[in-house]
Amino acid sequence: MLAIDLTGKRALVAGVSDDGGFGFAIAKALAEAGATICVGSWPPALGIFTKLLERGKMDESMRLGDGRKLEFERIYPLDAAFDTLDDAPEDIRENKRYKDVGDFSVSGMTERIRRDFGETGLDIVVHSLANGPEVKSPLVDTSRRGYLAAVSVSAYSNISLVRHLGPLMRPGGVFLSLTYLAAERVIPGYGGGMSSAKAALEADTRTLAYEAGRRWGVRINAISAGPWASRAATAIGFIDTMIAYAAANAPLPRPIDAADVGHTAAFLCSPLASAITGSVVYVDNGFHAMGMAVGSRNDGTTER
Ligand SMILES: NC(=O)c1ccc[n+]([C@@H]2O[C@H](COP(=O)([O-])OP(=O)(O)OC[C@H]3O[C@@H](n4cnc5c(N)ncnc54)[C@H](O)[C@@H]3O)[C@@H](O)[C@H]2O)c1
């Protein structure tokens, strides 16, 4: 039987701090397929995340299909806005959520991974993080600072992960990130430069696939996911409307589940996808293919 088998592979999923987002669903799917999982967690959310884990509050969602429990081999503090600790301003370094976690920069996390697992200890890296401080502002009203912050955390961070972790990847290594339709179509309300960040992330997926493919032999893809009520998406403020609209208008008229994204990620990270790189793969029940809302035809007919 053709199976997704990631036995013996180690994955780092950057952007997990609860059990409600795509990062967690991807971690779970990769573990179901046999991979061991490390996560990168944003320092402001790290304390609550580890408490939830210690107190068993996530035990239910950590149960895998075969009865095993999802285990995190390591939880690394990671603020993907910074390539080195020196890049972080003093007020961040001295902040109570940051000051005791060690080097939380991308290079700091890279060093820890090297120390923990040697020069080539990784097979899969998933970038599942984003932040736009002005996401509620229309693009036209977004400040330069807000725009650059969105692009820095949500897009440049992926380049930084590839550059730092590329040398640690074993043969057949894979990078994956999460993008959204706002990169290529107008999604009113998805502001603050987040649409620009996703457009950059997708363009970078192609260029990095070429550059890092030639340099380290790795594959680089992105999943363009349909709307899902994660913590980050809920903070934008109208995720339920987006989910209902997508479900009503997609070719497959239902909401997506985070597991849909997890399963596609497991496939893309597996040897079954060994010739797929530089691609943006839609996991959105086909919503991206539509050019008109269902039921909006002016001849009076209603689609089902
Ligand atoms: N939820 C959706 O509807 C949707 C749709 C398409 C794409 N996506 C993308 O999926 C990815 C995961 O998001 P999610 O919706 O599952 O939400 P989520 O809240 O589970 O994940 C976002 C993560 O980013 C982390 N983060 C924020 N700033 C960070 C920083 N500076 N450094 C490190 N980590 C940081 C947060 O702590 C959180 O763990 C994001 O790239 C998001 O844009 C989400």
Nearest ligand 1 atom, CA 201: 41
Nearest ligand 1 atom, CA 179: 7
- Whole-number Å distance, alpha carbon 129 to ligand 1 midpoint, is 4
N- to C-terminal Cα separation, the chain: 37
Q: Please give the structure tokens belonging to residue 193.
A: 């430069």
Give the three-state DSSP class for 267. helix
Q: Please give the structure tokens belonging to residue 235.
A: 């903070």
- pLDDT on residue 237: 87
- Whole-number Å distance, alpha carbon 298 to ligand 1 midpoint, is 38
298 pLDDT band (50/70/90 cuts)? low
In tens, the pLDDT along 114-123 reads 999 999 999 9
State the average pLDDT over residues 119-148: 98
Q: Please give the structure tokens belonging to residue 182.
A: 């706002």
- Whole-number Å distance, alpha carbon 130 to ligand 1 midpoint, is 4
269 pLDDT band (50/70/90 cuts)? very high
State the average pLDDT over residues 278-298: 92
Q: What percent of the chain has pLDDT over 70?
A: 97
Which of 87, 128, 158, 204 to mutate for ligand 1's pocket (most ligand atoms within 8 Å of CB)? 128
Q: Whose CA is nearest to atom 19 of ligand 1?
A: 232
Beta-bridge partner residues of 225: 283
296 pLDDT band (50/70/90 cuts)? confident
From the list 76, 147, 190, 282, the catalytic residue is 190
Q: Is 156 a catalytic residue?
A: no
Full-model pTM: 0.97
In tens, the pLDDT along 201-232 reads 999 999 999 999 999 999 999 999 999 999 99
- Whole-number Å distance, alpha carbon 295 to ligand 1 midpoint, is 32
303 pLDDT band (50/70/90 cuts)? low
Q: What percent of the chain has pLDDT over 90?
A: 96
- What are the φ/ψ torsions at residue 177 (nearest 5 degrees)? -130, 170
Which of 230, 240, 285 to mutate for ligand 1's pocket (most ligand atoms within 8 Å of CB)? 230
Q: Is the CB of 21 under 6 A from ligand 1?
A: yes
- pLDDT on residue 301: 53
The Cα 50–Cα 60 span in angstroms is 16
Measured CA to CA in angstroms, residue 264 lies from 61, 88, 199 at distances of 19, 35, 21
The Cα 147–Cα 145 span in angstroms is 6
Q: How many helices (H) and strands (E) does the chain have?
A: 10, 7
Nearest ligand 1 atom, CA 232: 19
- Whole-number Å distance, alpha carbon 49 to ligand 1 midpoint, is 15
The Cα 242–Cα 54 span in angstroms is 34
The Cα 236–Cα 232 span in angstroms is 7
